[in-house]
Structure 1
Amino acid sequence: MTDRRLLAFSGRVAVEALRGKVEAEDFVVPKRMALVATHWLHESPDGGIDRELLFGDAFDVIERRGDWSFGRSAKDGYCGWVETAWLGPWVAPTHRIGVRTTWGYSGSDFKLPRILPLHMTSGVCVEAEQDGWTRLAAQGGSLWVPSDHVTDAALDMVTAARAFLGTPYVWAGNSGFGIDCSGLVQVAMNAAGWACPGDSDLQESMEGEALEDSEALEAGDLIFWKGHVAIATGPETMIHANAHHMMVVEEAITPAIVRIAANGGGPVTSRLRPERKPTVSN
């Protein structure tokens, strides 16, 4: 495997499973940690961003170098660098955030200070419930969120995607504050309990049923262009985060295909009914 996004090798240190496959100074068993807040995964220390990781996401640390940690995101195998200050001890989540975005408060009262934003599929550990509020474990203490914003059940994929309607388009984003096309697909599939890679080219390579142009689309099918992906919400409509509208929209498929081609995005490259594989425990 040579795709650096999926290669658990920092250039100096690699995971033990790569012994004999790459030339590294050291081979290690990664140490599992977790994101203590939503933050970016970088291609290199101080380098460009690749994807956004969410609060509670498991991150397997392979090497620490200065203020940065190289590792692998457990939910999709994406490798890169995170500022070590944004990592904390791993605690297996009991629930997930089930709404686009909520806030963690300092107590069970919405008039108290907001502490931390939490986004859909963020893994959380429930400690207690009280009067419609749920207390979550967090770095250095606890957070309180409305109980209706926490779930231990899978969501419908299209319903999860529609929760992001109007969310700003942010390249590499995976959160309710900003999301891109592949981030929307990943969050929606993860919310439904299904595994999904982070980038659209990796998503296009997922296992599943390749669909002919003559086959009717079903809700949850994926439509791909070079560097872009959308989710079918029915035979004639789709939802996607896109740079034309600079937000998440739901629209008719046929005129969108024409517009994307006219704007230089090229034709549809494939259509896929992805295999529903359970997510990796996060």
Structure 2
Amino acid sequence: MKRFILTIISIILVGFGTNVQADAKEKKLDETAYVDVSVATLWTAPNILRPVDEPSAANPVNMRKWTSAMTLEQQLQLSADGMLETQALYGNKVTILERQGEWVKVAVAGQPTPRNDLGYPGWMPASQLTYSKKFAKAENQPFIMITEPTTFLYPSPSFKEKNLEISYNTLLPYEGETKNAYKVLKPNGKKAFVKKEHAKLFSSIAEIPAPTGEKLVETGKKFLGLHYLWAGMSGFGFDCSGFTFTMYQSYGITIPRDSSVQAKNGVSVELDDLQSGDLLFFAHDNGKGSVHHVAMYAGNGMMIHSPNSKKNVEIIPVDTKGYIEELSGARRYLP
């Protein structure tokens, strides 16, 4: 009961949630906040969670408990009923668009969509957001990027006690380092440590080396066997376009969030001129209708993708039955 009362008070005072620091009182509801959980799941409407979804809406979240507890039927319901929009990673910037009780509608920066110029929109619990002046000011300083499917934050560089499990492609401001650890700034303005072997340090997005198509495919292979998650954008589960988006974004290349929009950007490629890293699109009505799936060409007639709720990230031949009939085109996002 005490936690509930504190949550309501916090939302009334600052418009974000239980983890917003005192300096957030200066922020307005329609301004910036930062994701304060390892992966925030954005819903199409507030208060539509099923009991099985509760671990995804807490702070901290428990992604593994959520994804492992869902039955296939419950996984399919996420897409069939259009329940989810996208996900945002720890530290992602969002813009608050609207509030209903303990829920806020946000736009996720860095996820391009025609639906909103500020980023991909969706609803999430306000308690999963925070704001810190220090974190906001660190936006342009060097950062570390997580390079493993998932890894942990630690309260000290001894690594004796695990803290939050975070995803591949998470970016956190660099604060220093020891022999084996990077010291990073958390969205709430506090410090943590991450193993150097699980991250890379960059001075800016522009410093990230441009990938080859082969490098994109090699990176994608880190996730072979990872189970599909509708709207997934993390090392805990991807949907098809979340997978291709993340592979590119982790090399400093931002492409549209959704497959239907990915299919309209980049450069058109003839199917007999495919190169590793090109994106393949699949459409209804034998490839002539609306795009519903995307994969990455892996070379030698193969493709890597996150297919559907019944399967895991896999590499299969492009001419696999059920796919080749719907192949509608290809786009290239590399120079």
5+ residue gaps in structure 2? Answer: 1-27, 49-82, 112-118, 203-207, 284-291
Distance 1:123 1:129 in 2: 16
2:274 maps to which of 201, 205, 217: 217
CA deviation after TM superposition for structure 1 residue 244, in Å: 7.5
TM-score (norm 2): 0.66
Q: What value does the CA root-mean-square deviation take over the aligned residues?
A: 2.2
Distance 2:303 2:251 in 1: 17
Secondary structure of the 1:63 match is strand
1:132-211 superposed matches below 5 A: 132-138=180-186, 139=188, 141-151=190-200, 152=202, 153-154=208-209, 156-206=215-265, 208-211=266-269
Q: What is the CA deviation profile of residues 28-78 of structure 1, one whole-angstrom value per residue up to 9, with x for unaligned ones?
A: 994121111211011111242211111111111122331112121111121
TM-score (norm 1): 0.78
Find the counterpart in structure 1 of residue 323 from structure 2: 260
2:122 maps to which of 75, 80, 90: 80
1:64 maps to which of 99, 107, 115: 99
Distance 1:29 1:64 in 2: 8
Find the counterpart in structure 2 of residue 32 from structure 1: 32
CA deviation after TM superposition for structure 1 residue 196, in Å: 1.8
Distance 1:29 1:117 in 2: 28
Distance 2:248 2:93 in 1: 17
Find the counterpart in structure 2 of residue 106 from structure 1: 155
5+ residue gaps in structure 1? Answer: 1-27, 277-282
1:50 maps to which of 78, 82, 85: 85
Find the counterpart in structure 1 of residue 76 from structure 2: none
Distance 1:269 1:30 in 2: 40
Could you tell me which amino acid in structure 1 is paired with residue 267 of structure 2? E
Distance 2:304 2:175 in 1: 36
Moved runs in structure 1, 4+ residues, more than 4 A?
none
Secondary structure of the 1:75 match is coil
Between the aligned residues of both structures, percent identity stands at: 26
Distance 1:244 1:169, change over 3 A: closer
Distance 1:128 1:178 in 2: 31
Q: What is the CA deviation profile of residues 105-131 of structure 1, one whole-angstrom value per residue up to 9, with x for unaligned ones?
A: 22223332x211111211201222112
CA deviation after TM superposition for structure 1 residue 144, in Å: 1.5
- Higher helix content, 1 or 2: 2
CA deviation after TM superposition for structure 1 residue 238, in Å: 1.1
**Does structure 1 retain, via aligned residues, the 8 Å contact 2:233–2:246?**
yes
Moved more, 236-245 or 125-134: 236-245
